[in-house]
Structure 1
């Protein structure tokens, strides 16, 4: 089960938001400045209403202009201060949004680098992208602006209520009478809005996944003529997203008008009660003006506060998803003692790394995949001397990659030990081992950038001369020089500007540049043309000289010189030995080899 299908643990909204405090704390001075600016801004807004009442009693009712110039100067000063407050809080809130978003995405990206291979095997790319990009963006956008609006609205509302109680407690209580009802409706709708938003976020990840698969698999879809099937699947998930979004909007559409009605009710109470008091001489016209303005203006901040409350609650779903990913522990980790000596993958202590010679020992190894129910290996023993070549053969899906995945510590034995140079490889760091492994996949991955940059990933401090030497060693130099800009030619996204064979040659050059002690070739020549395969085979013997190597092979003719051949069938190793020993034994390997030999001869005859 991938983590996207897991039901998030329910927690209190404030407890969930507390997980964001480490991202807010570094910018606490900005937050303090924003709050201070909002407090001053809200107080000035309240003062505007009091000033309106003062104007009525001081200038309008007595019909005088005396002192109005001084009043105008003071009022203009308040307007200037309020404008400056809004500039400060606006600029700081925007910066806070950008920096929190940067920090969240950076931590997520860093954490994704530490997760085990099993996570990427079980979790769709679209799901990961949605969590790593969409959710942090929404959180970063919400934190500063919820803070701004919530502080402003709450300060304005409570200051208004306090002023009204001081001016006339009876009218103030009429407004306070609706507050409990607003609180009750807010609590009632909170759980429903949160539930719908959780569902919407999950479906949005599915939408992203469908887009990702539709774009990356566009060529396959066209060749298989399954555009209509893809469209039907997308219609289903997008329809579900539409229905869930409508449900969320409907909840808001019900909730906000209820709050608006309660606010309008408070306004009518104030106007009715205050009007009667003014007619009876209980309050002045200026005071009535203050109450009417407060009653009218309080509606917007109350609704604004209610809106931010729903937004505050709905964002809990985004935070839960991000925190769940950040707290996800990799299945394969180094012990604290190993980390203390050898460092981590991001902060290695290379000065403590011992040289790797290349001897690999499987000692009574039993293995079962984390999501499996049966053992793939049972009490398996294998001794691979340093510098020897082990070939692993079998039909597609037989489980050939299991041994290599264990050797590279992408997975660890369920029982038993794997030794590197006579020492349990769990006693050293994963980065130490991975830095000494050159892994070439059947489908190589190139990063966006130039040919030179992709080869240099093998060793970042390599010189241009070393890069060219590595390319020449694997017979990649000639095709690179035929490109328009040579080594500075762009390979495109995922190496899209190169053929599969050319990408494979660049991948070989990258592995060679790393100068690893252990080489893993995972069916590295299975998907390339005969001419390119000949170039690679010519280089392989040179590459593997003096290095421990594991060759996962589909074409058995390429591994006849291996020191040991392991034959895998239905996830079990059924034969082992040299090519000649296995041919003499007969059995499964001999049958596979003879069938391939006949097929290759037939193919060659047709080419002639």
Structure 2
């Protein structure tokens, strides 16, 4: 299979992209105002220190008098104390901004991910999503809280210092000013190159995150197939690519920052030489020269900081683009505005308008192909599933058995035609309305971290403990609970890792039963468990599916002989339909599948008998 290729982000630096973050900044504008205001005061205090020094030289040191020195000392100490308080409050406000912006970005992405269609998760690796939600938001929040504020301070400081220098002496100020065009030219030259390589670093970082995720979730497969060395080789290849991209980015910064420092140092040396001559000729005071020397030395740091932060600002654009790309993803299946207004969404449901579902489903002239597919899976397909009907879908692995279920559950929508639920096009009602009435049991069901009780309660959040235990008992899940140390309060582990596949299926079945849905979907629900557990589930389904519309996707044909309707799928097409005995009588494809599977099962029974 071809590796997932992440979208390239090649936009030049643009404040338009940064403006997309405005909704996340707005709630904390008070803290932004505090931080920026205090940084103006801090810049002012930093500017005053050399002026204090100049005043002390010209007023106290050279004349050799001490009159007024006490007041001068008190004012100086007051400025330093005020500066300390400003730093404390400014850092506190910036920390609040960083934590909250990061939190809101993560929350917005997580919330948006809940609204995206199944097709997005089918085509996007978990590692890429994880990198956006975690590392990208961390970089953005840090840049917003500290980088932009520090740039603001540095800009105010540099502009103010140059203004003061021009007021004190134009000639010396012009010498230092010569560094500005050099910095501007260097910035224009380097910014796009730095952005390009930082984008590549972020893209490869997503691949590494994805590889981590696959390595952890697939550890059992890796060990059973002894492919640890191959995994290590491919992982080292990715990290090697990131190393090369990071080195390119570091080289650019390694040239960019020292180049700025070089031009600044040259300007400082020229100021010292020219200023010393002017003091000797009594053209300026020694205090004035001390101000210029102090500014010439100190200003290199904020100028260098501005250059570094500008490089960070440029590279951070790639993080913003990636986060916004996720937030701007549109679901393939979406409710119309008028439908949302009536029925609500997953976060704000309007249950008062939800009609009760009987489970009558009609496929009316349905044509369908997957978003990334070229061929039609269904072509002008018609099917009527009456309420309470049990429909089995059979076929070999990869035949396309899940397509009908995905359409009926509205995980995908028809390319043409329509699907009616109780006589109404299901696009006239909300996805949440339909999904709340579907009980889905997967071949390898997912359990959430927590207890058995909590996982069953997901079927109906307001269920009592008694109702949870009754649902578990009805599908024999209580037999699983009896073996656990803390009973229903036993932890199931991450993704149910402390339980076997059969045990997880019984608990997920209890969860579906608790919801009491109008429609049941069993997706290969008994294909990966032992015979005893399968019998328990089969007995439960025979009783519980009565009166419910149900779709059973099955590989073992012996489990669906009682189905009202069997649909036979081959190469993505439904080639036969009918009841079990009707299809056997036709002696077509279903007959071949059933006969072959029956012989295989009988052979296994004989082998097991002889072995025992």
In the superposition, the TM-score normalised over structure 2's length comes to: 0.98
Describe the SS at the equivalent of 1:329.
coil
With over 3 angstroms needed to count, the CA separation of the structure-2 counterparts of 1:355 and 1:3, relative to structure 1, is farther
CA contact (8 A) 2:126 2:213 kept: yes
The aligned runs of 1:192-591 (5 Å cut-off) are 192-591=193-592
Per the alignment, residue 168 of structure 2 pairs with: 167
CA deviation after TM superposition for structure 1 residue 546, in Å: 0.3
Mapped to 1, the partners of 2:5 and 2:31 lie a distance apart of 35
Describe the SS at the equivalent of 1:567.
strand
Mapped to 2, the partners of 1:4 and 1:291 lie a distance apart of 54
Aligned length: 608
Per the alignment, residue 21 of structure 1 pairs with: 22
Mapped to 1, the partners of 2:478 and 2:605 lie a distance apart of 29
CA contact (8 A) 1:366 1:415 kept: yes
Mapped to 1, the partners of 2:4 and 2:140 lie a distance apart of 20
With over 3 angstroms needed to count, the CA separation of the structure-2 counterparts of 1:3 and 1:9, relative to structure 1, is farther
Describe the SS at the equivalent of 2:583.
helix
For 1:417-438, what per-residue CA distance to the aligned partner results, in whole angstroms no more than 9, with x for missing partners?
1100011000000000000000
With over 3 angstroms needed to count, the CA separation of the structure-2 counterparts of 1:368 and 1:2, relative to structure 1, is farther
CA contact (8 A) 2:364 2:418 kept: yes
Per the alignment, residue 45 of structure 1 pairs with: 46
For 1:412-457, what per-residue CA distance to the aligned partner results, in whole angstroms no more than 9, with x for missing partners?
1111111000110000000000000001100100000000000011
For 1:235-269, what per-residue CA distance to the aligned partner results, in whole angstroms no more than 9, with x for missing partners?
11110000001111111000000010111122112
Mapped to 1, the partners of 2:460 and 2:544 lie a distance apart of 16
With over 3 angstroms needed to count, the CA separation of the structure-2 counterparts of 1:226 and 1:251, relative to structure 1, is same
For 1:193-225, what per-residue CA distance to the aligned partner results, in whole angstroms no more than 9, with x for missing partners?
000011110000000011111111111001111
Mapped to 2, the partners of 1:167 and 1:3 lie a distance apart of 61
CA contact (8 A) 1:41 1:86 kept: yes
Mapped to 2, the partners of 1:487 and 1:180 lie a distance apart of 72
The aligned runs of 1:86-97 (5 Å cut-off) are 86-97=87-98
CA deviation after TM superposition for structure 1 residue 12, in Å: 4.0
With over 3 angstroms needed to count, the CA separation of the structure-2 counterparts of 1:4 and 1:80, relative to structure 1, is farther
CA deviation after TM superposition for structure 1 residue 8, in Å: 2.8
> Runs of at least 4 residues of structure 1 off by over 6 A?
none
CA deviation after TM superposition for structure 1 residue 126, in Å: 0.7
CA contact (8 A) 2:364 2:382 kept: yes
For 1:121-162, what per-residue CA distance to the aligned partner results, in whole angstroms no more than 9, with x for missing partners?
001111111111110111011111112211211111111101
For 1:317-358, what per-residue CA distance to the aligned partner results, in whole angstroms no more than 9, with x for missing partners?
000000011001001000111111111122111100111000
CA contact (8 A) 2:4 2:125 kept: no
CA deviation after TM superposition for structure 1 residue 370, in Å: 0.8
Mapped to 1, the partners of 2:280 and 2:310 lie a distance apart of 39
CA deviation after TM superposition for structure 1 residue 11, in Å: 5.1
Describe the SS at the equivalent of 1:247.
helix
CA deviation after TM superposition for structure 1 residue 7, in Å: 2.2
CA contact (8 A) 1:440 1:511 kept: yes
CA deviation after TM superposition for structure 1 residue 2, in Å: 9.5
Mapped to 2, the partners of 1:310 and 1:283 lie a distance apart of 38
Per the alignment, residue 141 of structure 1 pairs with: 142
With over 3 angstroms needed to count, the CA separation of the structure-2 counterparts of 1:323 and 1:11, relative to structure 1, is farther
CA deviation after TM superposition for structure 1 residue 23, in Å: 0.7
Mapped to 2, the partners of 1:489 and 1:92 lie a distance apart of 43
Describe the SS at the equivalent of 2:439.
strand
CA deviation after TM superposition for structure 1 residue 65, in Å: 2.0
Kindly indicate whether residue 80 of structure 2 is the aligned counterpart of residue 71 of structure 1: no
| Comparing 8-17 and 326-335, the one that deviates more | 8-17
Mapped to 2, the partners of 1:268 and 1:374 lie a distance apart of 73
CA contact (8 A) 2:12 2:192 kept: no
Mapped to 2, the partners of 1:433 and 1:308 lie a distance apart of 50
Structure 2, unmatched stretches of 5+, are: none
CA contact (8 A) 2:391 2:551 kept: yes
Describe the SS at the equivalent of 1:5.
coil
Per the alignment, residue 596 of structure 1 pairs with: 597
Describe the SS at the equivalent of 2:55.
helix
Mapped to 1, the partners of 2:13 and 2:549 lie a distance apart of 54
Structure 1, unmatched stretches of 5+, are: none
Describe the SS at the equivalent of 1:374.
coil
CA contact (8 A) 1:390 1:565 kept: yes
CA deviation after TM superposition for structure 1 residue 509, in Å: 0.5
Kindly indicate whether residue 150 of structure 2 is the aligned counterpart of residue 154 of structure 1: no
CA contact (8 A) 1:2 1:123 kept: no
Mapped to 2, the partners of 1:288 and 1:5 lie a distance apart of 56
Mapped to 2, the partners of 1:169 and 1:32 lie a distance apart of 34
Mapped to 1, the partners of 2:108 and 2:465 lie a distance apart of 33
CA deviation after TM superposition for structure 1 residue 9, in Å: 5.7
Mapped to 2, the partners of 1:312 and 1:575 lie a distance apart of 61
CA deviation after TM superposition for structure 1 residue 4, in Å: 5.4
Mapped to 2, the partners of 1:77 and 1:3 lie a distance apart of 60
Mapped to 2, the partners of 1:521 and 1:326 lie a distance apart of 33
For 1:544-586, what per-residue CA distance to the aligned partner results, in whole angstroms no more than 9, with x for missing partners?
0100000000110110010000000111111000000001000
CA contact (8 A) 1:4 1:123 kept: no
Describe the SS at the equivalent of 1:416.
strand
